[in-house]
Amino acid sequence: MKVLVTGGNGQLAACIKDVAKDQNNLQFIYTDSEDLDITNQQHVADFFQNNTIDWCINCAAYTAVDKSESDVDLARKVNKDGAKHLAIACKDNNVKLIHVSTDFVFDGKSSSLYSETDIAEPLGIYGLTKLEGEQAIQENLDAYFILRTSWLYSEHANNFMKTMLRLAETRPELSVVADQIGTPTYATDLAAVMLKIINDNSTNYGLYHYSNEGVASWYDFADAIFEIADTKTKVFPINTEAYPTPAARPQFSVMDKSKIKEALNIEIPHWRVSLKQAIKNL
């Protein structure tokens, strides 16, 4: 089977490459915005016409949460229009789509785990445009998997784990927000789930939540990074108000993974277990 991966230079695509090293049954086409501009519908249509594709994994996204508040048009072009163009091309060419979305579609005001049936009410432009992308896919395609995830990190690209480890080299102490609660997710674990969907040739289409197991604040996450990496940097908890940002973040965005565990027959690692593996690999 031939698999198109958009956003081919990003963190998640790099993790797909890691997981796919031993997958000789799959052929991958990795594209960046120069190879495939998903904001251009004709470009997408031509690309699908000119290449044999069985599955498309859409890792392309505008993910600058704060910058999106002032760069609304581009965020919408990538996150909404890009998703719609891929969905239409997938339908026209009988291609199955795996699309990555986010916990930021929720307002964070819940006191219990978010399920796929809970109402999505984004707080900012990033979450709104990602939700619009989900809706565009659902309106234009039946053979899709939308995977909402959270707090992605890995050995690749820029992410919270690598930032904390870099700061720990020069800073004896750091303050990190402790009142935003979610779940760190190892991008390699998410990549493995995507390839399982493809290898199983699953037809359990729909919207799913996927993150690692467990619950953490950003402070908890940072503290665990320093503990596992055995650094001497001390971390102190602060409230969101002490670290203002242009975009509001959901205060609680822990997702219920029951649906995907049952549909794909998978076990999901706890976030600390995966974090230890990531730091070991680094």
Task: Tell me the longest C-alpha to C-alpha distance in the chain.
Answer: 56
Residue 89 to residue 140: CA distance in whole angstroms: 9
Catalytic residue among 30, 126, 208, 219: 126
Closest CA to 127 of 79, 55, 95: 79
126 is annotated as an active-site residue: yes
Instruction: Judge whether 98 and 145 are in contact, CB under 8 Å.
Output: yes
| DSSP secondary structure string for all residues of 184-220 | -EEHHHHHHHHHHHHHTT----EEEE---BS-EEHHH
Q: Kindly give the pairing relationship between strand 2-6 and strand 55-58.
A: parallel
Q: List, in order, residues 6 or more apart from 92 with CB less than 8 Å away.
A: 45, 48
Burial class of residue 166 in the structure, from the number of CB atoms within 10 Å of its CB (0-12 exposed, 13-18 middle, 19+ buried): exposed
Residue 166 phi, psi (nearest 5)? -70, -45
Q: Is the dihedral of CA 31, 33, 34, 37 positive or negative?
A: positive
Per-residue tokens: 186: 């190892």
Burial class of residue 173 in the structure, from the number of CB atoms within 10 Å of its CB (0-12 exposed, 13-18 middle, 19+ buried): exposed
Active site residues per annotation:
126
